[in-house]
Every structure is written in structure tokens, then in C-alpha cells.
Amino acid sequence: MRIVVDYRPALRSRTGAGQYLFHLVRALATGAELDITLFSSSWKDRPLAEDLAQLPAVHVVDRHIPVTALNLLWHRLEWPPVELLSRGGFDIAYSPHPLLLPSSRAAQVVTIHDLDFLAHPERATAEIRRDYPGLVRAHAHRAAHIIVPSHYTARQVASELDVSPARMTVCYPGAPDWCPVGDRGGDGRRRHVLFVGTLEARKNVEGLLDAYAELVRRCPDVLPLVLAGRAQPESARWLEAITRPPLAGRVRHLGYVSDQQRRELFESAALFVLPSYHEGFGMPVVEAMAAGVPVVVSNRGALPEVAGDAGIVVDPDDRDALAGAMERMLMDDSLAAASAAKGVLRARQFTWPQTAAAALGAFERAIEAQQA
């Protein structure tokens, strides 16, 4: 099977979608006998050498075409076909986002991580606001198959875009192959409460800071809060808030962190908190569970599906409930230990080989659909 992948989301500063893409490609490349071509196009960003070292079996086509210009051509004109830019023929043209990768012959597969841009376009980037809401339904119906990261997202796509569940495949992301930290007390590892994610309204950063301020009021000696994730223009008010009491000196913003820094942050965390309003999956939750870190998540989106019974699930709009959940996990060692143990078992249910097998099944069904 010849597969071309739009690899641009994985070029730099990878957030959830970029991480998903890189690990999926790596798992596909080390599994079945596939002919994989990574298509990259940017004026300044090139595929990372350390990534390509982990993908020795793939071909790379790298064009110096600005992302914005190519997206405008692809999204609005659906031209040029990827075969013309890659000078090759393919069976599958795989897009890691909801809009089709233009192709003259290949079966087209798209990924829909979530539909937050439909309900809240104000949270999306300008390009997504311009193209996704108006095009996603038509592209979803024209795709030969659709990959989604959770059953929650599958239900959303079926409901909002009127897509048959038979045309979708759930491909859960995998957990990292980390060894869980065993004894989380008395070894110097319980250093902070951790949030990982882009600082944006969808992640409910403001609610987290309000709840943490309440926690500080209740427990003056509480561990510091670390925010690891890229800031957005809307983040300014939150970053300013952490410079003033009661958060000053207690909350640190690290910005975007490398994979190694990310692992170290999880391994030294006493608690991971993700109170998002909407997540199509929530990869940091699986990372926390894999590291043996207890979790507190919101009851929105796919987060209850991902965490299962491993953590505490709360209403993200209830400041007191969120503060109380964090307090219980930090003050009750037996509860935290039980949550961590359940989380380790839960994380083992998510593996990248399983993700790749599910994606390969989606590709096979896409080819069958195109030939029907």
C-alpha cells in the first residue's frame, strides 16, 4: 500500500495533533510493509532530523512553499494534487486534519480530532475560522474514510456532520513507553501540580487558576502549579494574573517544552489536572497515567472516556469542586496511590501499534469504498 501523509503539523513545536501524527507514522513504518511518503511544505520549517532518524523506512518530499499559500490553494481550489507536488502515485492520501488532501487518484482519508471549531469558532486560529466551518461537512462526506481519536468524537461527527458511523474508525492515541514512578512520597519527586497544554480558552486555564487560588487559600503550603504549553495572545491576562497574589511565586509558566522536558515534568508531578471544556481525546491524560501520576479531569468531551475510573472527574465550571478534587488527591495519599495504580493499568490499554493497526484498517476500508 502506497500512502502519502501531509506531515506539516509535525514539523515543529508539536501540540496534540502533531504528536499524534508523528507517533502514528512511526508505528505504521515499523509495522506492516507499507510504502510511506511524508509530504512537507513550508517556507522556513523543515522535517526534524531527530524525527527522520526514527523513521528510516519512509520517503520525504519537502517543498519550500509557504504553509498559508498552499493551504489556501488546497482548501479553496483543491489544487494542485499531491501527486503533482510529490511526483508519485499513491493508494491513500492521508490528511491529519478535517479537510481533504487533494489527490487525483488516491483514496482520501481525513482525521477529525474534534469539532470545537464549529461550536466555538472564536477559539480557533484565523485560518481555521476561515476554512473549516464552511468546508468540513462537504469534505467529510467526500472522504473515503474518516479517522477519529475517540468514541466521543465519533458521536460528534455522526451528529453534527451527518456521517454514518460505518465510515469512521476510532484510532486511540497510544501511551508513551514510560516506566511509572513507583513511590510518590518521600523521594523528592512530588514537586508540583502539572497542567500541560496550549494556554487557550478551550483548556479552561482561567478556571484552573481560580481553583488553584482557592486551593492556596485552603492549604497555604500546597505544591506549586506548573503550566507547560505555548502561550497565545489570549493568554496575556492569565500570565499577568500569576504575577499577582495569591498566585505570585506559586505558579510558573514554562512555555512549550521539549519531549524530554515533558517527560521530566510528568515524572516529578504529584498531580496532573486538565479541566478542559472540550477535548477530542486528551493525550496528556494518558501520559500522566503512564507516568503513574494521579489525574483530575473535567467531565466534558472525551476526557471521561480516556481517564475511565483512574481519576476524579469534575464540572470544569465548578471552582470549588475542582479545588476540592485537587485537595483530595494531594492530601489523601491512599486515594492518590489508588488513582495512580489504576492509571498505569488504564494507560496500558492505549498502544501505538494498536493505533497503527486501526489506521491501517481505515486505509483498507477507504480503498474498498473508492473501488465500490
Residues 115 and 165 in one domain: yes
In this structure, the answer to whether residues 91 and 34 fall within a common structural domain is yes
Checking if the pLDDT of 126 tops 90, the result is no
Q: Is 208 a residue whose pLDDT tops 60?
A: yes
Q: Could you tell me which residue, 157 or 51, shows the higher pLDDT?
A: 157
> Does residue 264 surpass a pLDDT of 90?
yes
Q: Predicted confidence band at 180 (pLDDT cuts at 50, 70, 90)?
A: confident
CB environment 39-50: b (16+ within 10 A), e (fewer):
bbbbeeeebeee
Same domain for 221 and 273: yes
In a shared domain, residues 209 and 150 = no
pLDDT at residue 13, as a whole number? 67
| Gap between the Cα atoms of 127 and 135, Å rounded | 12
Same domain, 255 and 290: yes
Question: Exposed e or buried b for every residue in 214-234, given b needs 16+ CB within 10 A?
Answer: bbbeeeeebbebbbbbebeee
Count the domains in the chain. Answer: 2
Whether 46 has a pLDDT exceeding 90, the answer reads no
Look at residue 126 and tell me if it is in a domain: yes
User: Is 111 inside any structural domain?
Assistant: yes
Asked if residue 58 has pLDDT above 90, the reply is: yes
Confidence band (pLDDT; 50, 70, 90) for 143? very high
What pLDDT is attached to residue 182? 65
State residue 124's pLDDT score: 86
Residue 147 DSSP SS3: strand
Distance, CA of 111 to CA of 236 (rounded, Å): 31
Residue 77 lies in a domain: yes
Same domain, 202 and 127: no
Task: Specify if 145 maps to a domain.
Answer: yes
* Contact of 199 with 238, CB cutoff 8 Å: yes
Has residue 281 been placed in a domain?
yes
Domain shared by 260 and 163, yes or no = no
Asked whether the beta carbons of 221 and 188 are under 8 A apart, the reply is: no
Verify that 199 and 63 share a domain, yes or no.
no
Report yes or no on 182 lying in a domain.
no
Residue spans of alpha helices (H) in 143-186: 151-161
- Those residues whose C-beta lies under 8 Å from the C-beta of residue 125, and which sit 6 or more positions away, are none
Question: Are residue 101 and residue 244 in the same domain, yes or no?
Answer: no
Q: Please name the residue ranges forming H helices in the chain.
A: 16-29, 49-53, 67-72, 82-86, 116-119, 126-142, 151-161, 205-218, 236-241, 259-267, 283-290, 303-307, 319-331, 333-347, 352-371
Confidence at 183, pLDDT banded by 50, 70, 90:
very low
What 3 state SS string does 301-370 have? CCHHHHHCCCCEEECCCCHHHHHHHHHHHHHCHHHHHHHHHHHHHHHCCCCHHHHHHHHHHHHHHHHHHH
**pLDDT by residue (tens digit) across 290-314?**
999 999 999 999 999 999 999 999 9
Q: Which three cell numbers stand for residue 247?
A: 498566585
H or E element that contains 144: none
97 shares its domain with 61: yes
Whether residue 24 is predicted with pLDDT greater than 90 in this model: the reply is yes
Residue 341 has pLDDT above 60, yes or no: yes
The CATH number of the domain holding residue 42 is 3.40.50.2000
Please indicate, yes or no, if residue 110 is contained in any of the structural domains.
Answer: yes
The domain in which residue 267 lies consists of: 192-347
CA distance between the termini of the chain: 18
Same domain, 265 and 357: no
pLDDT in tens, 351-371: 999 999 999 999 999 999 998
User: What pLDDT shows up at residue 189?
Assistant: 66
Average pLDDT, the chain: 94
Distance between CA atoms of 170 and 174, rounded to whole angstroms?
Answer: 12
Asked if the model's pLDDT at residue 184 lies above 70, the reply is no
pLDDT digit string, tens, across residues 185-203: 444 468 999 999 999 999 9
pLDDT value for 359 = 98
79 and 221 in a common domain: no
Does 228 reside within a domain?
yes
